[in-house]
A and B are shown apart, each in its own frame.
Chain A
Amino acid sequence: MTITTDNYESWFYRYSEGELDEREQREVEAFAAQHPALADELNLYDPELKLQAAPMVFADKESLMKHDHKVVPLWRWAVAACLAVVLMTGAGLFIFQREDNGPVVAQATLPQPLPAQQPTTVETTPTPFETNIPATSKRLPARKLARASAPQSSPTVSSHAEPTLVAATTNPASPTAETPQVEAQADNEPTVIVYHEIYVVADAEPQTVQQSPTNTDPENGIESLRSFGRSISTRLRAEALRAQGNAKMMLASL
């Protein structure tokens, strides 16, 4: 290839960098002699004139790196989600069931059988509660009383085979404070005293209020029963609010 005014720059570069053989070098020198302006330009070329660049550090190399990320299959996420839903639903049902059953259950229990040698007229030991419970005694059918009885309840006063049950139900609103009445039945119908048991389900500890037939202070009994009723009502409200709060939290988490 012959050097011309169109391609002299590449020739001049290779000439200045020492990449030409002797014949090519003579061609370049002859061309420069014929073109003085280009010869002056060739003289300006300095092969030692090089760019200088200080080392630089790209600090954030970690952002460029690629790392393996463990991929969890989609079905595992689905199984985990299903388990979570089941658990949350179960917990929610448990809480709602507690709320539906009511935190407090007050019920009359089957009377406890008295020892056989005890007389029909019951003598019971006074307790702070039992002395204050006004009770109205009424005769209940045996099947109704059995349905209302608690598991741990048993006939209180009976030495006979077929007891006639007398359920004493608390009646705090009743202004009349009467001592518990025990209705003595006929000879073949044993008398049964129904004890009052109040269960606070949240505490799982039954609070038993026993009725004392020997109570002789009905006014104090009414007041004590009212106080006890107020305390139970307060606890009931607290338990209900707590259960309601738990239910709301469960719903929010769902």
Chain B
Amino acid sequence: MTQKEYNNGVRLWADDVYRFAVHCCGDNESGKDAVQEAYAALWEHREEVNTEKGKSFLLTVVHNWAMSQHRHRKVQENVATDLIGETTVRPDERFDLREALEQAASLLPEVQRAAMMLKDVEGYSCREIAEILHLNEKQITVYLYRARVSMKKTLIALGYDNNNR
């Protein structure tokens, strides 16, 4: 990857990578840090990374960075448990569909949420997602299945089902 291709990659991919980073990290500031880390890594390895794989490389770095952050803080499970408890305690609290989906997605384990983001938002195939997350394709299908079932259960708990979606 040349310098020009790298800069083109910044213009073309930075927004998508940032969105993915925010969803993985949970907040904008951490997302910015993740993007900086990802592009720094891309520049460092530009000789080894093809332009076609540039965005996948960035997403991989962001995911790994987010995972390390989550492992460090050990926030994910605690937050999910607390939120599930709140939703069950207050079933009458209403969300619009978008908020409900975000709420449901926030309860997912990191790897499931990342797989869903890459599948639903970025449009990658299961094979490409497997490459990005350094997993095999079968694992991705399992994660996606569990993620959708889990989200469906959360939506039902929040008052959404097939009829009011």
Contacts and interface: CB of A to CB of B under 8 A. Distances in A.
A51 B35 contact: no
Given A49-B155, A58-B15, A9 B10 contact: no
A123 interface: no
From A41, A56, A60, A65, residue with most partner B Cβ within 10 Å: A56
Interface stretch (B49-57, B65-73, B76-84, B137-145): B137-145
A14 interface: yes
Nearest to B10: A64
Contacts of B22: 56
Contact of B17 (A10, A58, A63): A58
A53 B23 contact: yes
A13 to B, nearest CB: 4
A66 B145 contact: no
Interface string A40-51: 010011110111
B142 A51 contact: no
Contact of A46 (B19, B35, B102, B152): B152
Nearest to B117: A51
A45 B145 contact: yes
Given A10-B138, A53-B19, A61 B101 contact: no
A61 B19 contact: no
Contacts of A55: 15, 19
Contacts of A41: 149
A52 interface: yes
A49 B148 contact: yes
A9 B138 CA distance: 9
A41 B19 CA distance: 31
Contacts of A9: 141-142, 145-146
Interface residues of A, number: 28
Interface in B99-146: 101-102, 105, 113, 116-117, 120-121, 138, 141-142, 144-146
A74 interface: no
Interface in A157-193: none
B100 to A, nearest CB: 10
Interface string B37-70: 0010001000000000000000000000000000
A25 B43 CA distance: 46
A57 interface: yes
A119 B59 CA distance: 112
Interface in A97-144: none
Contacts of A47: 148
A12 interface: yes
Contacts of A58: 14-15, 17-18, 32, 35
B145 A61 contact: no
Contacts of B120: 50-52
A14 B23 CA distance: 25
Nearest to B115: A51
Nearest to B147: A51
B2 to A, nearest CB: 10
A103 to B, nearest CB: 61
Nearest to B150: A44
Contacts of A51: 23, 101, 105, 113, 116-117, 120-121
Contact of A64 (B14, B141, B144): B14
11 contacts: A45-B148, A46-B152, A49-B151, A51-B105, A52-B98, A52-B120, A61-B10, A64-B14, A65-B10, A66-B6, A66-B43
Given A44-B153, A53-B23, A58-B15, 12 more contacts: A9-B145, A10-B145, A13-B145, A16-B145, A45-B149, A45-B152, A51-B121, A52-B102, A57-B18, A61-B14, A64-B10, A66-B7
Interface of A: 7, 9-10, 12-14, 16, 41, 44-47, 49-53, 55-58, 60-61, 63-66, 68
